[in-house]
Amino acid sequence: MLNYSLFLHAESKEWVTFVHGAGGSSSIWFKQVREFRKHFNVLLLDLRGHGNSKPVLKDAFNSKYTFDSITEDIVKVIDKEHIKDSHFVGISLGTILIRNLAEKYPGRVKSMIMGGAIMKLNFRSQVLIQLGVVFKSIIPYMLLYKLFAFIIMPKKNHKQSRLLFVNEAKKLYQKEFVRWFRLTSEINPLLRFFRAKDIKIPTLYVMGEEDYLFLPSVQKVVASHQLSRLFVIKNSGHVVNVEQPEVFNKETIAFIEQS
């Protein structure tokens, strides 16, 4: 089972579950926990192979990860803690897992907050992934990861986010990185389905105005999905919860309380 942490509120019955992205860990939410636990019960988890969720023996013989299998990891945790339903907060690839969980278990998801959401891969990001597919077994994964991080978060004011994710990614093993990278083979049809289907769950997309790879597609999704809203944070790139935590916390907590 995944490594996770609970922060219980004395009065609130509401749960908020945080889902990090690939190469990160639950530590990327350190600027959120203090504020969120004032209002809600909080669940932080490390996805498989990340943070303190170390690879287990059965994963050593399972070379293929899928979005469904990783989503089920999250469901096992909320089942174990008898959490009937939760608000979910995700960043980057974590938003895909949240959207997948909502598709499979809509009754478990009260609302979705999608930070730095990935809803479509543009030409540049698809080229980047193809280069990764070609070189993933040849080039040390940290070189690839640093390249990806720089392309997604290129500006000077993105440096803190970039370093945070690179430092967390150093804790991964090469084989674990390759397993996660193989997820890209199923990402395009999944994102196409998510864009086409309005799931009718209250959703707040929180995007940085400098998130050039992913903001345009999110703007189109919000325009066509009934219960979706978009909040764009100025002077921020992809990892909005790290770069502008005060704004992120204020907007997301208010959204949850209204949902």
Write the pLDDT tens digit of every residue in 222-249. 999 999 999 999 999 999 999 999 999 9
Strands 41-45 vs 4-7: parallel, antiparallel or unpaired = antiparallel
pLDDT for position 17: 98
Q: What pLDDT is stored for residue 196 in this prediction?
A: 95
d(CA 236, CA 231): 12
pLDDT at 101 over 90: yes
Tens digit of pLDDT for each residue in 117-175?
A: 999 987 666 766 676 666 666 667 677 777 777 778 878 888 888 888 777 777 776 66
Q: Give pLDDT, residue 157.
A: 86
Q: Determine the average pLDDT of the residues in 190-208.
A: 96
More confident residue, 145 or 105: 105
Degrees, nearest 5: CA angle 96-213-161: 75
> What's the rounded Cα separation, in Å, for the pair 154 and 32?
24
Is 118:129 a contact under the CB 8 Å cutoff? no
Burial-class residue 1 by CB neighbours within 10 Å (0-12, 13-18, 19+): exposed
- The reported pLDDT for the residue numbered 59 is 56
Q: Is the overall model pTM greater than 0.85, yes or no?
A: yes
**Segment 48-90, tens digit of pLDDT:** 988 899 766 555 555 568 999 999 999 999 999 999 999 999 9
- pLDDT band (50, 70, 90) for residue 30: very high
Distance CA 18, CA 181 (A): 21
| pLDDT confidence tier of residue 47, bands split at 50, 70 and 90 | very high
